[in-house]
């Protein structure tokens, strides 16, 4: 099976592709060349209404099926995604610009993991039996929420579509997914695969559009739950809109996460962790450890090895080439944002030790960039950049670095490199972050909860935790004897 970058139509609703050219055009740009590779249209009110009705009408029958039946469809879709991994990875690369070397092992594969994991979990979604004395008892039922809206960021379009869709469907909900308009292609394929694998029509719909389409979905009375992956400012808006209707929410938002490298760390591994946590996907990863605190006694060694590895091993270029390991920014706009942060770093006195420039020629490339001598008050140490810019900050002792690591409104992730296992756990226990790493960085297996604390989010994706965010508990009291009433 070969995918064209131009999809059959812009939207996927009620089991089929559907177009409405009255919607504002969305040009899809291949970030490696700047070429337009597809034209789609934003959803009109009629399209949004169609998706909401389809989801509402299909959901109850889906929830009434057994978990085993639902799970079987999800697991079939997981297998199909793996069979199609090559083509899906090419599409992900065209949509985002991320190198095929990455997309072929991270995107459709992680989407398939979510479908497999939640497909396997679906039959085990049961309630509890609770003895209450005097022969009375109660039971709980874990019920679907109804219609869920998923809104995605542009960095992991396939993965986000699956991370939201798989637990929603496993729990018996219907999903309407709105991708970022920057990367609208991959979620359509997820919808197509799910339906090819037996998902009844109306249960996984994709509508395209800008923020106004997301807003129309979030504010609609037919919607029961909203899961957003996006920035903190968008999260605040979406959370507030959802609150108007008392809707359930999951918010996966941004970060400015600390990665702490102690003096006893294996420096080569620490450098590897810092590379993974700053330059994978050209730095466009929410959980990145962009504030790299390095003990002052090993800072020079760390920077030497980091710069040497960047110099010898970064392969920038055509993302579809197997050897390329560093791709462009997703868009020209994102490149401009990142460059403005690099310029602020320079203006505020950080020491540039690697990169710092755009790469001339086609595509939206920026060199992997490292600043040393960064202080906590600099803009590049406080704000999420969402690009390949690492800030290295020296520290002297444990209590100091913990306080500095926590001095941020974000709380998505945190990492520690040390050979002292007691210190590793002691420090991690004090870091205010939802997803933490010891002697590693940015691993995201489906079995582990993923999500942020503080302004980085509400709720968790993946793992059994996600089930709690896509279902609600009904409790039932059962009296076995007579009712004693006062009159
Ligand atoms: P944005 O916050 O700009 O957008 C996220 C999504 O929300 C887009 O689909 C956007 O549509 C939509 N949207 C915007 N305004 C509204 C609104 N008022 N109502 C409903 N929907 C709306 O994020 P980006 O796409 O720029 O992605 C980057 C951000 O995402 C970073 O901050 C990053 O940290 C975060 N992120 C978080 C992750 C996590 O799991 N914690 C993972 C990946 C990214 P449109 O694009 O059309 O405006």
3-state secondary structure the chain: CCCCCCCCCCEEECCEEECCCCCCEEEEECCCCCCEEEEEECCCHHHHHHHHHHHHHHHHHHHHCCHHHHHHHHHHHHHHHHHCHHHHHHHHHHHHCCCHHHHHHHHHHHHHHHHHHHHHHHHHCCCCEEEEECCEEEEEEEEECCEEEEECCCCCHHHHHHHHHHHHHHCCCEEEEECCCCCCCHHHHHHHHHHHCCCCCCCEEECCCCHHHHHHHHCCCCCCEEEEECCHHHHHHHHHHHHHCCCEEEEECCCCCEEEECCCCCHHHHHHHHHHHHHHHHHCCCCCCCEEEEEHHHHHHHHHHHHHHHHHHCCECCCCCCCCCECCCCCHHHHHHHHHHHHHHHHCCCEEEECCCECCCCCCCECCEEEECCCCCCHHHHCCCCCCEEEEEEECCHHHHHHHHHCCCCCCEEEEECCCHHHHHHHHHHCCCCEEEECCCCCCCCCCCECCCHHHEECCECHHHHHHHCEEEEEEEECCCCCCCCC
| pLDDT score of 467 | 98
Which residue in 92, 102, 181, 461 is the catalytic one? 461
Mean pLDDT of the region 80-96: 98
Which residue in 102, 252, 256, 384 is the catalytic one? 252
| 252 among known catalytic residues | yes
pLDDT over threshold 90, residue 81? yes
What are 367-414's pLDDT values in tens digits?
A: 999 999 999 999 999 999 999 999 999 999 999 999 999 999 999 999
Distance 401 CA to ligand 1 centre (A): 30
Instruction: Please tell me if the CB atom of residue 449 comes closer than 6 angstroms to any atom of ligand 1.
Output: no
pLDDT over threshold 90, residue 1? no
| pLDDT score of 14 | 98
| pLDDT score of 79 | 98
Q: Measured between alpha carbons, how far is 158 from 189 in angstroms, rounded to an integer?
A: 8
Nearest CA, atom 9, ligand 1: 180
| pLDDT score of 478 | 98
pLDDT over threshold 80, residue 194? yes
% pLDDT > 70, the chain: 99
Mean pLDDT of the region 82-92: 98
Distance 262 CA to ligand 1 centre (A): 34
Mean pLDDT of the region 320-338: 98
Instruction: Please tell me if the CB atom of residue 218 comes closer than 6 angstroms to any atom of ligand 1.
Output: yes
Dihedral sign of CA atoms 195, 201, 206, 207 in order: positive
What are 131-190's pLDDT values in tens digits?
A: 999 999 999 999 999 999 999 999 999 999 999 999 999 999 999 999 999 999 999 999
Closest ligand 1 atom to 154 CA: 25
Which residue in 164, 178, 225, 256 is the catalytic one? 164
Predicted TM-score of the model (pTM): 0.96
Nearest CA, atom 13, ligand 1: 211
| 286 among known catalytic residues | yes
234, 387, 454: which to mutate for ligand 1, most atoms within 8 A of CB? Answer: 234
24, 178, 211: which to mutate for ligand 1, most atoms within 8 A of CB? Answer: 211
Mean pLDDT of the region 14-39: 98
- Confidence class of residue 3 from pLDDT cuts 50, 70 and 90? low
Q: Measured between alpha carbons, how far is 43 from 41 in angstroms, rounded to an integer?
A: 6
| pLDDT score of 50 | 98
- Confidence class of residue 37 from pLDDT cuts 50, 70 and 90? very high
pLDDT over threshold 70, residue 121? yes
What are 128-146's pLDDT values in tens digits?
A: 999 999 999 999 999 999 9
Mean pLDDT of the region 465-476: 98
| pLDDT score of 2 | 47
Distance 241 CA to ligand 1 centre (A): 15
Instruction: Please tell me if the CB atom of residue 238 comes closer than 6 angstroms to any atom of ligand 1.
Output: yes
Closest ligand 1 atom to 156 CA: 43
Q: Measured between alpha carbons, how far is 119 from 125 in angstroms, rounded to an integer?
A: 11
What are 240-275's pLDDT values in tens digits?
A: 999 999 999 999 999 999 999 999 999 999 999 999
């Amino acid at each position: 099976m070969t995918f064209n970058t131009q999809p059959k139509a812009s939207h996927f609703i009620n089991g089929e592709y559907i177009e409405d050219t009255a919607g504002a055009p969305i040009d899809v740009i291949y970030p490696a060349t700047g070429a337009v590779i597809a034209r789609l249209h934003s959803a009109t009110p009629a399209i949004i209404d169609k998706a909401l009705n389809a989801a509402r009408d299909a959901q109850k029958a889906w929830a009434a099926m057994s978990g085993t039946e639902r799970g079987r469809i999800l697991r079939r879709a997981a297998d199909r995604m793996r069979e199609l991994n090559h083509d899906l990875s090419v599409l992900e690369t065209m949509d985002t610009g991320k190198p095929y070397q990455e997309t072929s092992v991270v995107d459709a594969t992680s989407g398939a993991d979510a479908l497999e994991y939640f497909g396997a979990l679906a039959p085990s979604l049961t309630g509890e039996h609770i003895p209450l004395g005097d022969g009375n008892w109660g039971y709980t039922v874990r019920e679907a929420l109804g219609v869920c809206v998923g809104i995605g960021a542009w960095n992991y379009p396939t993965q986000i579509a699956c991370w939201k869709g798989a637990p929603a469907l496993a729990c018996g909900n219907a999903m309407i997914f709105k991708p970022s308009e920057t990367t609208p292609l991959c979620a359509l394929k997820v919808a197509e695969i799910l339906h090819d694998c037996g998902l009844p029509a109306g249960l996984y719909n994709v509508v395209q559009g800008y923020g106004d389409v997301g807003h129309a979905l979030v504010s609609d009375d037919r919607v029961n739950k909203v899961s957003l992956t996006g920035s903190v400012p968008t999260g605040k808006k979406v959370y507030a809109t959802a609150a108007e209707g008392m809707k359930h929410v999951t918010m996966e938002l941004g970060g400015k996460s600390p990665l702490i490298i102690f003096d006893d760390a294996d420096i080569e591994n620490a450098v590897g962790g810092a590379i993974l946590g700053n330059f994978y996907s050209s730095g466009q990863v929410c959980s990145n450890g962009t504030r790299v605190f390095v003990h002052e006694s090993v800072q020079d060694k760390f920077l030497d090895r980091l710069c040497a590895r960047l110099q010898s091993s970064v392969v920038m270029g055509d993302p579809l080439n197997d050897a390329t390991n560093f791709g462009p920014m997703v868009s020209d706009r994102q490149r401009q944002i990142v460059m403005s942060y690099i310029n602020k770093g320079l203006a505020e006195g950080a020491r540039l030790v690697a990169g710092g420039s755009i790469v001339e020629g086609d595509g939206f490339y920026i060199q992997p960039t490292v600043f040393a001598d960064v202080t906590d008050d600099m803009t590049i140490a406080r704000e999420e950049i969402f690009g390949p810019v690492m800030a290295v900050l020296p520290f002297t002792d444990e209590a100091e670095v913990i306080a500095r690591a926590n001095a941020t409104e974000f709380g998505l992730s945190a990492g520690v490199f040390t050979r002292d296992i007691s210190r590793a756990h002691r420090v991690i226990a004090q870091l205010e972050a939802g997803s933490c790493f010891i002697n590693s960085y940015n691993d995201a297996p489906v079995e582990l909860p993923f999500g942020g604390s503080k302004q980085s989010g509400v709720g968790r994706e993946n793992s059994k935790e996600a089930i709690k965010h896509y279902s609600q508990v009904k409790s039932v009291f059962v009296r076995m004897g007579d009712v004693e009433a006062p009159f």
